[in-house]
Amino acid sequence: GGRSFSIWDATAGTLVYDSGNSLEQVTAADPVFGSVFNADYAGNEFKNRSDDRGPEPEAVVVAEIGGRPYAFIGLERIGGIVMYSLADPAAPEFVQYVNTRTANGLGGDRSPEDIIYVASEDSPTGKPYVLASHEASGSVAVFEVNTAATAGFARSGAVVEEGAGEVEIELAVGRAGVLSGEAVIRIAGASTAREGGDFVLSSNTVSFEAGAGASQVLRVDIPDNAEPGGRYLILEIDPVSSSAIVGDTSRYILLIKDNDDPPPAAQPDPYMQLDYLGSYSTPYSSAMEMVAYDAQNRRLFVSNPAAALVEILDYSTPGNIMLADTISIAPYGAGPGSVAARDGVVAVAVPGHNTGDNGKVVFFDADGVFLHEVQVGAMPGMVCFSPDGSKLVTANEGEPSADYSVDPEGSVSIIDISGGVAGATVATLGFEAFNSQQASLEAQGVRIFGPNATVAQDLEPESVAISDDGRIAYVTCQENNALAVVDLIGGTVAGIWPLRTKDWTRPGTTFDASDESGDVFFANWPVKGMYQPDGIDYFSVGGVGYLITANEGNARAYDAFSEELRVGDDEVVLDPTAFPDAEYLKEDVLLGHLRITSAAGDTDGDGDYDELHAYGGRSFTIRSTLNGGVIYDSGNDLEQITAADPGFGALFNSNDEENEFKGRSADKGPEPESVVVAEVDGRQFAFIGLERVGGIIVYEVTNPVAPQFIQYINTRRVDGIGGDLSPEGISFIPASASPTGRPLLAVAYKVSGTVAL
């Protein structure tokens, strides 16, 4: 025998540790049983077994107590149980030797043969025990495992303001200890808060007296500093260094809100502001999506796909919009996808009934009388007139069926009505010419990822903007994070521009990433945001054209294929080099709930995520018309503005159908859906609709490299579900077409089924 216990590598079979002569040393030095050192269980003769096998360690059991492993070794000859901590298997620590035989006579418990551990959750008293059966004495000994207090954080975390001063963090006692003990607090290296600059820890130990059940407090000072961005401090109770038993909540995450990145200040003397006049509510099935106006007749035309109608509204009294008539779209297809109006002509994009069916653009006069129809590509969404009214352009999305058995090609249709609606001609442009360029497009950042899809099938045109001279159409392909550039004169697709990603690690580029943190927390995160714009518009300043996009974000989520994951999902394995703090990032209050794509991020093809790509930019972006490059991005302005709003801050990042604070923070935030730029007296203003929290944000973009915030106006209710919910389509009505002589903004709201002026 080895007169010892040994620890072996279970995989390699190699020796990790041997206790050497420790067992003999422990028993020899015992103040009571040292007198029967190496005695036999049948007698008390000192050193009787020294020339045989010494104490003869017979039985061993390992149990986890308070997150640490302990070994209980039974000594067959001299008797008793030796206890070691195995927190470090290469260097176990002696804890205790207990023997219940008698030292002066043959009595008590002799010759432990087997040992079992009974955990507190399996115990009739709620306390842990060690049970040892003794062969020579025919007895079973029961030992209560006495420990220090079981202590853990009373809560898993909190949110505090920078400069909060002293913050008290409560450690609660789950079970009072027979022994006194300490909880040793360590600062996780994953913390982004810096010791000294962002926090000062008063002490790294918290003491618990024997028998005491009262909570104790850890104090952290939170100073003010000038560094931008929220930081988080992760505190943990160290199970190895602590003598207290670690309770259920061993980790505490303190989110420190930044006060050096305020929301943009509104222009002090704005040239223009919005004033809410009133709303119209549809009496039909509720889903108002796109709105257009006709200057000749002072009418609005609103697509209502839920009711398969275009509703014709009289806005001659802007504060009292009235239903004038309806146009049934059911005879022409599945329902209106979009609507445009100009010079007494109303054009309605109508998808087919079945996936893959070509759609139509159907023309009516301002009274809803049918004029003509033409065929376009599959699933036409947006339709818009060119500036001179000679053409219309449709974005034909070509979405797949839910089971992906049908995946039509996306396309753009150019409708020439220069000879009148009755003589309209159509050229539908697909993307087949780009099929051979798939690898190159993907390398540039265009997302081509549908199951077995070609480039032509995968591209899904969404919205259209046309240059002032009517020569070029710019078409967002939202799911693909790309722009298609269409030559309207030559009738060709001139190019596909990748929109690339937004770096959320850049200073000042922060967002609220969790719906679980309890309060707004803007911070930098190791995430790339796919812009994925929905709405787009074209405007010019000083003869130079610009594009502006509303970066909503959108995922593919079908029965047969879904790209949606959350960072905390088991399927999301983070590369240990790129994300050394993966365990912490997966916490729900950090990035654990953030929705990401499974279709990007594995840059080296080894099956894990080297990058995290989230949906949308939570912003609007102004881009060059030469190559789509970013000229300006609003960063975190939209979230900052809505969070700071005195009325609607309570609904920050809520959904469009419920008032849950931060309900959309882990998805796409406020989801800027639509954008329109309009000129007012020589100055350019952008109107951005926020689909989820609602409302319109106004910026002056006369200087495209430095837009200025003007106003945030929201007409939903705060104290319930009501008002105008989920702005979808926006139409600017110039003063010349307004009955009041002042420009108007018409907004269609999808969820509430309303139109506001």
pLDDT in tens, 67-98: 789 999 999 999 999 999 999 999 999 999 99
CA separation for the pair 424, 701 (Å, rounded): 36
Give the pLDDT band (50/70/90) at residue 240. confident
Per residue in 615-631, pLDDT (tens digit) is 999 999 999 999 999 99
Question: Beta strand pairing status for 544-550 and 620-624?
Answer: antiparallel
CA angle 656, 662, 665 (to 5 degrees): 90
Q: Which token pair is 64?
A: 């986890």
Task: Report whether pLDDT(567) > 90.
Answer: yes
Which of 466, 490, 574 has the alpha carbon at shortest distance from 526?
574
- Do residues 706 and 267 lie in contact, with contact meaning Cβ atoms separated by under 8 Å? no
Average pLDDT score over residue span 489-498: 98
Confidence at residue 508, expressed as pLDDT on a 0 to 100 scale: 87
pLDDT of residue 406 exceeding 90: yes
Q: According to the model, what pLDDT value does residue 373 have? A: 99
pLDDT, tens digit (0-9, with 9 covering 90-100), for 296-318 = 889 999 999 999 999 999 999 99
For residues 252 and 229, give the distance between their C-alpha atoms in angstroms, rounded to a whole number.
20
Domains, in order of start, for the chain: 6-144 (no CATH), 150-257 (2.60.40.2030), 279-554+616-756 (2.130.10.10)
Q: pLDDT averaged over the chain? A: 97
Pairing of strands 245-246, 150-153: parallel
Q: What angle do CA 567, 573, 577 make, to 5 degrees?
A: 105
How far, in whole angstroms, is CA 27 from its chain's centroid? 58
Mean of the pLDDT values across residues 328-351? 97
Contact 625, 472 (CB under 8 A): yes
pLDDT at site 492: 99
Query: Which pLDDT band holds residue 172 (cuts at 50, 70, 90)?
Result: very high
Contact 430, 398 (CB under 8 A): no
Q: Where are the beta strands (DSSP E) in 659-738?
A: 672-680, 683-690, 696-700, 708-713, 727-733
Q: Give me the count of residues in the chain.
A: 757
For the beta sheet containing 536-541, the strands, ordered from the edge strand earlier in sequence to the opposite edge, are: 536-541, 544-550, 620-624, 630-633
Average pLDDT over residues 139-148: 95
Residue 616: predicted pLDDT: 99
What is the pLDDT averaged over residues 601-608? 97
Would you say residue 34 has pLDDT above 90?
Answer: yes
Question: Where residue 217 falls among pLDDT bands split at 50, 70, 90?
Answer: very high
| Cα angle, residue 190 at apex, residues 187 and 195 outer, rounded to 5° | 45
Across 566-573, average pLDDT: 99
Q: How far apart (Å, rounded) are the C-alpha atoms in residues 749 and 341?
A: 19
**Count H helices, E strands: the chain?**
5, 54
With the C-alpha atoms ordered 208, 176, 62, 30, is the resulting torsion angle positive or negative? positive
- β-pairing, 231-237 vs 181-187, is antiparallel
What does pTM read for this prediction?
Answer: 0.91
Helix, coil or strand: residue 625: coil
- How far CA 699 is from CA of 517, 642, 644, 686, 711, in Å, comes to 30, 14, 17, 5, 7
42-68: average pLDDT: 94
Cβ–Cβ contacts within 10 Å for residue 631, how many? Answer: 14
Distance CA 74, CA 141 (A): 12
CB neighbour list of residue 506: distance below 8 Å, 6 or more residues apart: 524
Which one is predicted more confidently, 147 or 545?
545
Residue 20 to residue 36: CA distance in whole angstroms: 20
What is the model's pLDDT at position 67?
78
pLDDT value, residue 194: 97
Structure confidence at residue 282 (pLDDT) = 97
Dihedral-angle region of residue 494 (phi above 0 means left; psi in -120 to 50 means alpha; beta otherwise): alpha
pLDDT of res. 142 = 97
Residue of 286, 288, 290, 279 whose CA lies nearest to 729: 290
Dihedral (C-alpha) 149, 153, 154, 156: value to the nearest 10 degrees?
A: -150
Q: How far apart are CA 550 and CA 669, in angstroms?
A: 13
| C-alpha–C-alpha distance, residues 452 and 490, integer Å | 31
Going by the DSSP 8-state scheme, the letter that residue 591 receives in this structure is I
pLDDT the model gives residue 188: 98
Average pLDDT score over residue span 605-611: 98
Q: For residue 280, give the nearest of 268, 269, 272, 288 by alpha carbon.
A: 288
Q: What is the mean pLDDT of residues 495-504?
A: 98
Coil, strand or helix at 318:
coil
Q: Which residues contact 613 (CB under 8 A, 6 or more apart)?
A: 501, 527, 528, 529, 530, 596, 597, 600, 601
Structure-block tokens of residue 71: 């070994």
Cβ–Cβ contacts within 10 Å for residue 513, how many? 26
pLDDT score, position 660: 96
